[in-house]
Structure 1
Amino acid sequence: MVKSGDTIKVHYKGTLNDGTLFDSSEGREPLEFEVGSGMVIKGFDDGVMGMKVGDKKSVNIPAKEAYGDPNPEMIFDFEKAQIPNDIPLEVGGTLNMHNGQQTVPVKIVEVAETTIKLDANHPLAGQDLNFDLELVNIQAGGDTTVEYQEVK
C-alpha cells in the first residue's frame, strides 16, 4: 500500500467540476513522483495514500488543497512599452515573464492604452479538481518494486 516516501507511478485524468478535462496521462507514461515530498499538490498526494497496485479510484480535491484561491496581489498592471511590438496583446492570451530565476506564465486579462493587466495566478487557482487515478507501480522507500501488469 502507498505510504509517504514511496515512489509511485499513477495514470490519471483531471477534470473540473463542470467536466472540463484539464490534464491526463492518457497516451503518455504514467506520472511518477515521491509521495509526501511536495512534488504534486497536497490533495493528489493525500488521494493516493493507501492505494495498492492495480487500484482505481476517483478523488475530489477542494481548491485549498490544490492551487488555492486566486491571490489579488498576483494581478497587476504592466507597461505596454516594455513588451516587444511583435508580441500580440489579446485578452485571454498568455505571456511568459522572467523574474531572473524562472519563467512565469501570465494571462492577459485587460488591454488598455498604455498598460495591460496581467494575472500570474495558477490557471487552476480557485478550482476544485477531480482526478480518476490508477496506481500502476510502487517503489517502496526500501527500494522494493511492485508493478501492475494488465492481463489480456
Structure 2
Amino acid sequence: MSKVIKENSNIIVHITMKLSDGSAADSTKVNNKPAKIIMGDQSISPAFEANLLGLKEGESKEFSLKSADAFGDKNPDNIHYVDITKFDSETPAKVGSIITFTQPGGELPGMITDVSGTSVTVDFNHPLAGQDVTFVIDVIEIQ
C-alpha cells in the first residue's frame, strides 16, 4: 500500500512555480534538486500544506495560491534605503541587482529597485511576494 502525505510527514517533492501569466518562475527540476518539506513545521503556509495532504508517492498536483498564502504580500517595512557609499566596484548599486547582506541571523538577499543620488532602495521582500503563484508538485518520496 502506498504512503499518503499526512500532517507530520517528511516529504521529498519537485516544485515548479508559475506566475499568473503562465510564465515559469522557478523549478527544483532545473538543477534536479528536489525540496524536502517537513509537514507541520510552519516553513510553508497552511494553505500550501492543505493542498499536499492526501497525495501519494508518484502523484502530481497543480494548484494556485493567492499572494498572501504563497510568499506573502509585499511588506513596506522590508524596503530599506542604503547609502551609496556602502557599494563599490565589486557590488555596484545597479537596479535589478540582488545583493546579499550578512546579518546576525544569517544572510538576507535584497533586490536594488532604485538608485537616486546617494540613496539606494533595496527591497528585501521575497521576489514573488505580492504575486499569485501556481504550484506544480511532483511527490517523489514520503518518509
Alignment-derived partner of residue 5 in structure 2: 2
Question: Hey, what's the Cα distance between the residues in 2 that align with 1:82 and 1:13?
Answer: 36
CA contact (8 A) 1:58 1:133 kept: yes
Which of 14, 18, 23 in structure 1 is aligned with 2:17? 14
Please say which structure displays the higher CA radius of gyration: 1
Question: Hey, what's the Cα distance between the residues in 1 that align with 2:121 and 2:34?
Answer: 37
Deviation of 1:102 (Å): 1.4
Alignment-derived partner of residue 23 in structure 1: 26
Cα RMSD between the aligned structures? Answer: 1.7
What SS class does the counterpart of residue 47 from structure 1 fall into? helix
Give unmatched runs, 5+ long, in structure 2.
Answer: none
Give unmatched runs, 5+ long, in structure 1.
Answer: 140-152
Question: Hey, what's the Cα distance between the residues in 1 that align with 2:116 and 2:103?
Answer: 23
Question: Hey, what's the Cα distance between the residues in 2 that align with 1:30 and 1:76?
Answer: 33
Q: State the Cα deviation string for residues 120-151 of structure 1 (Å, max 9, x = none).
A: 11111001111112222211xxxxxxxxxxxx
Question: Hey, what's the Cα distance between the residues in 1 that align with 2:86 and 2:27?
Answer: 36
CA contact (8 A) 2:18 2:26 kept: yes
Alignment-derived partner of residue 68 in structure 1: 72
Number of aligned residue pairs: give it.
139
Question: Hey, what's the Cα distance between the residues in 2 that align with 1:22 and 1:77?
Answer: 27
Distance change (3 Å), C-alpha of 1:39 and 1:73: closer
Q: How does 1:68-147 map to 2 (within 5 A)?
A: 68-139=72-143
- Post-superposition, which runs of at least 4 consecutive aligned residues in structure 1 deviate over 4 A? none
Q: Percent identity?
A: 29
Question: Hey, what's the Cα distance between the residues in 2 that align with 1:51 and 1:76?
Answer: 41
Distance change (3 Å), C-alpha of 1:66 and 1:42: farther
